């Protein structure tokens, strides 16, 4: 509370003069047109929305909101460099900027590291105060975020602004502690009730309440949450919501038990779920009856396996893992064999799917719930440990500790969490992680993985986790919190190979349903894991981008947008360059001379997972080069020196090396470049700096590539920023630049040559 007061005093002192100014009133016509534009934008009617925003800007030339919306439309059309050049020119040429419009429109394109909103917020700009609050919240400075968000609300020019600023304030309030989410919901409810029932802005506030989290340990039902849940019935088919928003409302209304029933269709449905609008979900509201079992049954595997990578499947598109193969065999039989299917799914650790099937048959739930309880308890315990505190109850005893503690002490406490899971394997009388293999990465980290280098389980915990097809990896980086990964194994196997002439070997685990980490894979000296779900999510992002750019005119507008003038190798705000490279990668050869409708070729899940495989294999090649540390001391010391003698800096460099190696050997290197650009743009926008330093490493990699591009791709315009011309670089030109950088970084074995 004291910190909140100090933040308020500081912000008040910085902007005292501006507090005395009232926001200028807007023409009523502009407000009405803006609400219509906002609704059209929500419903995906982009052309209509753009025309309405342009009209609102004509009616109120000094109003930031419509100009911001038009700038967002330019960014959405992937014309970010043009928007950036226009904002730079407007800010430079403006004789005066009393509303702070030009400064704000430029600031929102600049990286948060430059604190671009601070001057405008101090000068009284409502949108700058809102932007500053968003940046402060992303940086973890919650009290300042709340204060600046409140300042934005006070200076809102009409309902459209006010609702957007209130949503920002609610997000900041929700992060303030145990009572924060309840305050945030109350704030949204007050504004919701103040608006006319017909207002399209009510939809923003309703959807905003779904984003308000509940802190750990909070009651599942509170007065504010209960009020919003009751209000949900009126939104299940509201025309003010987009299809995606309706889907979110329905899932929230279902609740976990009924959502599980609907998800059972994955294995037991007649032919998959019906199209969303025809699915009668309002009758699934709390208190209604669980839907009856579908009258007919048919195979579900092929639909569910569509998002699985080929590496886990054989030539017949069946799982290579024998236990998974048995689950599929049973699921494809005709007839209601739910009990057998549930047991087979449980045997591969698919506890949620097993529960979905078993609950449809109303049989075997006790055994399955015990397994689910055990796994969830383990996941919660690991999550507490990763967040800095672990507290487990065993009978009347409570074990608790806070890092830093030794890995061995952590394992003894985690054994208490594993005990309930052992009920799924009665022959394992005692389950302990203490027997698991601990691996040292010299001075940087210690790792635990309960399998050996050939993939065989180590100790009783390793046997149990293998039985449940569950993968566990815990990393203790020096000076950082433990990092825990828990996932369901689709395939675990021993493998070996070479990358850029450097050998590697170890255990490979392909996982799904990974918990505890935002990354899509990780390596240790004995092997690595990758997340198939992360690759599937990336594939959906590519397909979503493809759906937005069907016409040649839209694609041409994005890819022919001129790069800003300036230093060729300077790294400017990327402003969608990752998406532009993705479009260029998907576009057919000679597309600019073809028909107006294009068929863009999006990469598959397997294509994207292959990048992750090569990335992690590059880590294994590095580990073989650097370990044991005493044998490669000069190389390791050089690495630590390049990483500025910090664990984070060294780790970032290691990630940059691995991504560079995957870029060099990928069949389509632009796929790997898109990953780099997406993450670096997130870093520029303040969205990627967390416990994992991948984005910082990728930024270093990108700067290195830009330095080698003039020689590798001589057709690029040297008078314009190369970072906005990457979509003009062909795959082999990119590979040449990457290989030049890889040799500079020592990633290429002597004598190795690219055979392409």
Phi and psi at residue 717, in whole multiples of 5°?
A: -80, 110
Note the helical H segments in 549-693.
Answer: 552-559, 577-586, 605-626, 633-642, 647-665, 669-684
Phi and psi at residue 446, in whole multiples of 5°?
A: -125, 140
Q: In this structure, how many other beta carbons lie within 10 angstroms of the beta carbon of residue 648? A: 17
* CA-derived radius of gyration, the chain: 27
Tell me how far apart the alpha carbons of residues 689 and 681 are, in angstroms, rounded to a whole number.
11
User: 291 exposed, middle or buried (CB, 10 Å; 0-12, 13-18, 19+)?
Assistant: middle
Residue 486 bridge partners (DSSP): 472, 515
Which of 736, 520, 748 has its CA nearest to residue 621? 748
Q: What is the pLDDT of residue 222?
A: 76
Residue 170 bridge partners (DSSP): none
Exposure of 171 in the CB half-sphere (CA atoms within 13 A): 22
Phi and psi at residue 598, in whole multiples of 5°?
A: -115, 150
Which distant-in-sequence residues (6+ apart) come within 8 Å of 210 by Cβ? 248, 249, 252
Phi and psi at residue 303, in whole multiples of 5°?
A: -70, -40
Tell me how far apart the alpha carbons of residues 158 and 201 are, in angstroms, rounded to a whole number.
12
**Below-70 pLDDT ranges, the chain:** 1-23, 94-99, 214-221, 251, 253-307, 331-339, 346, 349-438, 442-444, 452-455, 459-461, 464, 479-481, 592-596, 688-690, 756
The pairs formed by 737-741 with CB atoms below 8 angstroms and a separation of 24 or more are 737/705, 737/708, 737/709, 737/711, 737/712, 737/713, 738/660, 738/663, 738/664, 738/669, 738/705, 738/708, 739/664, 740/708, 740/711, 740/712, 741/660, 741/701, 741/704, 741/705, 741/707, 741/708
Residue 496 bridge partners (DSSP): 505
Q: In this structure, how many other beta carbons lie within 10 angstroms of the beta carbon of residue 2? A: 7
User: What is the DSSP-derived secondary structure letter of residue 36?
Assistant: H
How do 527-531 and 502-515 pair as beta strands?
parallel
Question: What is the DSSP secondary-structure string of 166-227?
Answer: HHHHHHHHHTSSTTHHHHHHHHHHHHHHHS-TT-THHHHHHHHHHH----TT--S--HHHHH
Question: What is the DSSP secondary-structure string of 686-704?
Answer: T-S-SS--HHHHHHHHHHH
Q: How is residue 243 written in tokens? A: 């299809």
Residue pair 420/388 in contact (Cβ under 8 Å)? The answer is: no
User: What is the DSSP-derived secondary structure letter of residue 310?
Assistant: G
CA distances from 679 to 55, 76, 215, 674, 708 (A): 36, 18, 28, 9, 21
Which of 353, 151, 324, 186 has its CA nearest to residue 262? 353
Which of 683, 516, 510 has its CA nearest to residue 608? 510
Residue pair 484/454 in contact (Cβ under 8 Å)? The answer is: no
């Amino acid at each position: 509370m004291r910190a909140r007061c100090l933040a308020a005093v500081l912000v008040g002192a910085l902007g005292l003069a501006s507090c005395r100014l009232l926001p200028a009133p807007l023409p009523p016509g502009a407000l009405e047109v803006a609400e219509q534009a906002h609704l059209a934008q929500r419903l995906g009617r982009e052309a209509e929305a753009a025309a309405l925003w342009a009209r609102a800007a004509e009616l109120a030339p000094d109003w930031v909101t419509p100009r911001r919306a038009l700038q967002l439309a330019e960014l959405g059309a992937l014309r970010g460099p043009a928007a950036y050049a226009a904002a730079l020119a407007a800010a430079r040429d403006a004789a005066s900027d009393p509303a702070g419009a030009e400064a704000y429109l430029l600031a929102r394109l600049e990286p948060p590291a430059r604190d671009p909103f601070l001057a405008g917020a101090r000068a009284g700009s409502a949108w700058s105060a809102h932007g500053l609050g968003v940046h402060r919240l992303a940086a973890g400075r919650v009290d300042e975020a709340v204060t600046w968000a409140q300042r934005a609300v006070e200076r809102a020019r009409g309902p459209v602004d006010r609702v957007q600023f209130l949503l920002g304030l609610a997000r900041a309030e929700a992060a303030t502690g145990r009572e924060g989410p309840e305050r945030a919901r109350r704030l949204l409810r007050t504004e919701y009730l103040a608006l006319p029932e017909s207002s399209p802005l009510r939809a923003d506030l309703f959807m905003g309440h779904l984003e308000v989290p509940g802190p750990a340990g909070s009651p599942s039902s509170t007065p504010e949450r209960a009020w919003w849940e009751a209000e949900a019935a009126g939104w299940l088919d509201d025309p003010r919501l987009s299809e995606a928003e309706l889907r979110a409302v329905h899932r929230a209304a279902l609740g976990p038990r009924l959502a599980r029933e609907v998800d059972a269709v994955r294995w037991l449905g007649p032919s998959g779920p019906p199209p969303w609008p025809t699915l009668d979900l309002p009758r699934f509201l709390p208190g209604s009856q669980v839907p009856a079992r579908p009258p007919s049954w048919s195979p579900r595997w092929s639909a569910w396996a569509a998002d699985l990578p080929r590496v886990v499947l054989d030539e017949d598109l069946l799982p290579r893992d024998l236990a998974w193969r048995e689950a599929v065999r049973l699921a494809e039989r005709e007839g209601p064999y739910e009990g057998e299917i549930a047991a087979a799914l449980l045997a591969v650790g698919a506890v949620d799917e097993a529960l979905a099937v078993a609950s449809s048959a109303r049989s075997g739930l006790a055994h399955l719930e015990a397994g689910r309880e055990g796994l969830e308890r383990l996941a919660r315990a690991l999550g507490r440990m990763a967040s800095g505190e672990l507290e487990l109850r065993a009978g009347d005893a409570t074990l608790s500790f806070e890092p830093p503690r030794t890995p061995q002490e952590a394992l003894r406490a985690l054994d208490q969490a594993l005990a309930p899971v052992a009920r799924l394997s009665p022959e394992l009388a005692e389950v302990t992680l203490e027997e698991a293999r601990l691996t040292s990465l010299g001075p940087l980290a210690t790792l635990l993985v309960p399998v050996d280098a050939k993939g065989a389980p180590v100790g009783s915990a390793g046997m149990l986790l293998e039985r449940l097809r569950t993968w566990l990896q815990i990393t203790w980086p020096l000076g950082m919190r433990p990092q825990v990964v828990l996932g369901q194994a689709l395939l675990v196997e021993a493998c070996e190979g070479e990358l850029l002439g450097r050998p590697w070997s170890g255990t490979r685990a392909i996982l799904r349903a990974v918990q505890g980490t935002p990354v899509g894979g990780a390596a240790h000296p004995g092997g690595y894991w990758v997340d198939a779900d992360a690759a599937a999510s990336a594939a959906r992002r590519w397909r979503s981008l493809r759906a937005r750019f069907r016409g040649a005119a839209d694609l041409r507008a994005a890819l022919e947008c001129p790069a800003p003038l300036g230093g060729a190798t300077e790294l400017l705000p990327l402003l969608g360059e990752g998406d532009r490279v993705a479009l260029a990668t998907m576009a057919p050869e000679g597309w600019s001379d073809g028909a107006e409708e294009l068929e863009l070729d999006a990469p598959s899940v397997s294509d994207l997972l292959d990048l992750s495989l090569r990335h992690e294999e590059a880590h294994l090649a590095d580990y073989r080069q650097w370990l044991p540390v005493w044998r490669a001391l000069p190389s390791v010391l050089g690495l630590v020196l390049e990483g500025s003698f910090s664990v984070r800096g060294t780790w970032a460099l290691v990630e940059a090396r691995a991504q560079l190696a995957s870029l060099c050997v990928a069949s389509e290197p632009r796929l790997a470049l898109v990953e780099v650009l997406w993450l670096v743009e997130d870093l520029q926008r303040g969205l990627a700096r967390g416990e994992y330093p991948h984005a910082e490493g990728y930024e270093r990699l990108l700067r290195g590539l830009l330095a080698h591009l003039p020689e590798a791709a001589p057709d690029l315009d040297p008078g314009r920023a190369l970072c906005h011309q990457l979509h003009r670089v062909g795959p082999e030109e990119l590979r040449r630049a990457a290989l030049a950088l890889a040799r500079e970084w020592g990633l290429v074995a002597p004598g190795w040559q690219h055979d392409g």
